Structure 1
Amino acid sequence: MPARTHTRPHPATPGRVDIRLPWWALALPALAFVSLLVLILNPADAHAATGDPAVTLLFERVQQIFTR
């Protein structure tokens, strides 16, 4: 017994891709981008955690390497 194939009610037009994204597929990355941008533009609100000084020294060295 052969299986039926479902056809589209409207055939796809050649050369055009029809992709529809849900609203959150654009809203969530935009929200993440804006929140990170706000953190970068206002670093006074970011508080450094007190931790191991070796990790801090490592990050300082990496920053010095990339800023040269």
Structure 2
Amino acid sequence: MSVRAHTRRDPAKQAEPTAVEIQLPWWAIALPAIAFAALLLLILNPVDAHAASGEPVVTHLFERVKTVFASLL
């Protein structure tokens, strides 16, 4: 008894295009998510981010902007 050979169809000849399935390893999703969460936590709570100086530069910038706007009014 003969068996039919399974042949692959040419995607260009198919009437309906098939969806492309992409599989990523678990770490390809987990590592960027962890890095994003860590950076978000550092932005939300800059006290935990120990930089070279004791005072954050952003607070000095905000204080200067505040004094400039206060002097204009």
User: What TM-score do the two structures reach when normalised by structure 1?
Assistant: 0.50
User: What TM-score do the two structures reach when normalised by structure 2?
Assistant: 0.47
Q: Which has the larger radius of gyration?
A: 2
